C-alpha cells in the first residue's frame, strides 16, 4: 500500500518524472498514484522530502500463490569484438539449476535481459533452458550502474511477479540484489550453495553460516519473490539444446537520465597475474606454509609451466602477499578449474568451499593430518620447498622430451 503524506508533498513532480510506468501524477500540487502503479518504489526513492511511503504487509497464502515463475537476471558482458553482448557463464549455471526448480514447481523460466541496443546472444539462453526473455534496452544501461539497473529490474520484478528471482553473486549481482530487495521490501539470501523446493513448494536457500561451520537453510514464507544470489562456479553448466527457442518480449518501462546518480569516467581491465581466477583452468594456490611473499616466486614458475594462474588462501591475503582478488574461499572467490594445486594450505572449511568443485585437486603439505588431504585426489606429504622445485624440473624435462 502506498501512503502519500499530502502535507509534506511539495508537488515537485520528481516522482512523476521518475516513475518507470508513468503511474504517478501530481494533481492540485500533490502526488497521486494511478491504477497502474506496481509499488516498485522508484518514486519513494527519489522523493527528496520523504512524502511517499510504501507499506508491505506479510502476504496471505492466496496472494503468494499469484507469484509464478523462476526469473534470472542475465548479467551480460561484451564479446571479444565489443560489438555483441553475451551472458556471463554464471547465468548458464543458474539456468541449469532453474530448470530443476521450475520442473518441480511446474513453472516457466524467464530471463531478464538489460542491454544498450547491441545484439545480445539470446539463443544461448534458450538453449540452456529459458522459456521466455524479457528485454529492455537503453543507452543508460551500459556500463552497469546501480541506479539504472535497480530501477529497471525492480520495475520488471514488481510487474511480472515471479515466485523465485535468482542472480549471480558477481560483484554487480552482489550490488544489485540487495538494492532490489530493499526497494521491493523483499528478503534476500546471499551466496547460496544449494537450492531446493520443499513439500510446501517453497524455495529452500542453503548457504554457509557462522564462519562456514554450519549450513543454514533459509525460507522466505511471507513475501514473494524468494530472492537469492548464487556464487559463480557453484553449479555446473548443463548440456545445451540448440533446438530450443524462447520468445523475446520487450518490457515497456521508462528510464530517465536523472535516475542515474553516478558517472563512469573510465574502465581499467585487470590483466595478467592480477586477472580473474573464476575462469582459470589451472590454479596453483599458495598457503601460509610458504612462509613469505618472496617464496611465491616458485609457485608462479609452476603456474607458468602449466599455463595457470596463482591464487591463495585468506591467510596470505591478510599477510599482504597477494590481493584479495586472488583469494579462494568463502570470503573470496569460488573456483572450478580442471586442476587445483594447493601448496602449504591446511584446508580449512572456508577454503574448501571455494575450491572443492575443481576437476583434480593435488595437495602438497608436510603435515599428513592436514584436512586438505580429505578433498585431494592426489596428496603429496612433503616439504613444499623440495616438492615444488622437483615438480617444475620434471615438467620442464617432459616438455623437452615431447618437443
Ligand X SMILES: Cc1cc2nc3c(=O)[nH]c(=O)nc-3n(C[C@H](O)[C@H](O)[C@H](O)COP(=O)(O)OP(=O)(O)OC[C@H]3O[C@@H](n4cnc5c(N)ncnc54)[C@H](O)[C@@H]3O)c2cc1C
Rule CB under 6 A: which residues touch ligand X? 211, 287-289, 313-316, 327-332, 344-346, 348, 350-351, 354, 364-367, 370, 383-385
Question: Looking at beta carbons only, is 109 or 315 nearer to ligand X?
Answer: 315
DSSP state of 21: T
Closest approach of Cβ 275 to ligand X, in Å?
19
d(CA 240, CA 17): 43
Smallest separation, CB 343 to ligand X (Å): 7
Beta carbon nearer to ligand X, 21 or 385 = 385
Q: 166 vs 315, which CB is nearer to ligand X?
A: 315
Least distance in angstroms from the C-beta of 339 to ligand X:
18
- Least CB distance from residue 391 to ligand X, whole Å? 13
Nearer to ligand X, 45 or 346 (CB): 346
Give the helix/strand (H/E) hosting 109: strand 109-115
**Residue closer to ligand X, measured from CB, 87 or 312:** 312
Is the Cα torsion angle 393, 395, 396, 398 positive or negative in sign? positive
Per the CB < 8 A criterion, the answer to whether 167 and 133 are in contact is: no
Residue 283: CB minimum distance to ligand X, A = 13
Lookup: cell for 25: 501524477
**Residue 292 vs 397, nearer CB to ligand X:** 292
- Residue 214: CB minimum distance to ligand X, A: 12
DSSP 120: B
Q: How far is the CB of 348 from ligand X (least distance, A)?
A: 4
Give me the helices (H) in 76-206, please: 89-105, 123-127, 146-160, 171-183
Asked if residues 186 and 91 have their Cβ atoms less than 8 Å apart, the reply is no
**Residue that the C-alpha cell 552497469 belongs to:** 144
Q: Following DSSP, what letter does each residue of 318-358 receive, concatenated?
A: HTTSS-GGGBBSTTSB----SEEEEES----HHHHTTTTT-
In whole angstroms, the minimum distance from the beta carbon of 229 to ligand X comes to 16
Q: Which three cell numbers stand for residue 304?
A: 607458468
All cell numbers assigned to 93: 549455471
CB-nearer residue toward ligand X: 150 or 233: 233
Q: Which is nearer to ligand X, 242 or 320 (CB)?
A: 320
Instruction: State the Cα–Cα distance between residues 202 and 217, nearest whole angstrom.
Output: 12
Q: Which residues pair with 120 in a beta bridge?
A: 85
CB nearer ligand X, residue 115 or residue 344: 344
Q: What's the min distance (Å) between Cβ of 188 and ligand X?
A: 19
State residue 61 phi and psi, 5-degree precision: -55, -35
Measure the CA–CA gap between 231 and 191, rounded to whole angstroms.
5
How many Å apart are CA 134 and CA 247, to the nearest integer? 9
Amino acid at each position: 500500500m502506498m501512503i502519500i503524506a499530502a502535507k509534506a508533498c511539495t508537488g515537485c513532480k520528481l516522482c512523476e518524472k521518475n516513475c518507470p510506468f508513468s503511474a504517478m501524477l501530481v494533481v492540485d500540487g500533490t502526488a497521486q498514484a494511478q491504477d497502474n502503479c506496481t509499488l516498485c518504489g522508484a518514486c519513494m526513492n527519489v522523493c527528496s522530502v520523504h512524502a511517499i511511503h510504501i507499506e508491505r504487509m506479510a502476504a496471505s497464502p492466496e496472494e503468494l500463490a499469484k507469484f509464478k515463475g523462476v526469473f534470472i537476471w542475465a548479467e551480460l558482458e561484451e564479446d571479444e569484438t565489443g560489438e555483441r553482448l553475451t551472458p556471463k557463464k554464471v547465468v548458464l549455471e543458474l539456468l541449469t539449476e532453474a530448470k530443476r526448480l521450475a520442473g518441480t514447481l511446474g513453472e516457466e523460466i524467464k530471463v531478464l535481459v538489460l542491454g544498450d541496443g547491441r545484439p545480445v546472444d539470446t539463443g544461448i539462453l534458450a538453449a540452456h533452458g529459458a522459456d521466455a526473455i524479457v528485454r529492455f534496452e537503453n543507452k543508460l544501461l551500459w556500463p552497469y550502474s546501480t541506479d539504472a539497473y535497480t530501477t529497471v529490474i525492480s520495475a520488471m520484478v514488481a510487474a511480472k511477479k515471479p515466485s523465485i528471482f535468482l542472480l549471480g553473486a558477481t560483484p554487480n549481482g552482489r550490488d544489485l540484489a540487495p538494492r532490489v530487495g530493499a526497494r521491493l521490501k523483499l528478503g534476500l539470501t546471499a551466496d547460496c550453495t544449494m537450492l531446493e523446493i520443499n513439500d510446501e513448494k517453497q524455495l529452500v536457500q542453503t548457504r554457509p553460516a557462522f564462519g562456514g561451520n554450519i549450513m543454514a537453510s533459509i525460507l522466505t514464507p511471507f513475501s514473494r519473490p524468494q530472492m537469492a544470489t548464487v556464487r559463480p562456479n557453484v553449479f555446473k553448466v548443463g548440456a545445451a539444446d540448440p533446438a530450443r527457442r524462447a520468445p523475446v518480449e520487450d518490457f515497456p518501462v521508462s528510464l530517465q537520465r536523472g535516475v542515474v546518480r553516478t558517472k563512469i569516467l573510465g574502465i581499467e581491465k585487470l590483466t595478467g597475474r592480477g586477472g580473474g581466477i573464476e575462469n582459470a583452468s589451472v590454479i596453483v594456490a599458495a598457503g601460509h606454509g610458504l612462509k613469505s611473499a618472496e617464496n611465491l616466486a616458485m609457485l608462479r614458475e609452476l603456474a607458468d609451466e602449466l599455463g595457470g594462474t596463482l591464487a591463495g588462501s585468506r591467510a596470505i591475503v591478510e599477510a599482504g602477499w597477494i590481493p584479495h582478488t586472488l583469494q579462494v574461499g568463502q570470503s573470496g572467490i569460488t573456483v572450478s578449474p580442471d586442476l587445483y594445486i594447493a601448496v602449504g594450505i591446511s584446508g580449512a572449511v572456508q577454503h574448501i568451499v571455494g575450491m572443492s568443485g575443481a576437476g583434480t585437486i593435488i595437495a602438497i603439505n608436510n603435515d599428513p593430518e592436514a584436512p586438505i588431504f580429505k578433498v585431494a585426489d592426489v596428496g603429496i606429504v612433503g616439504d613444499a620447498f623440495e616438492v615444488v622445485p622437483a615438480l617444475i624440473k620434471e615438467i620442464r624435462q617432459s616438455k623437452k622430451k615431447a618437443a
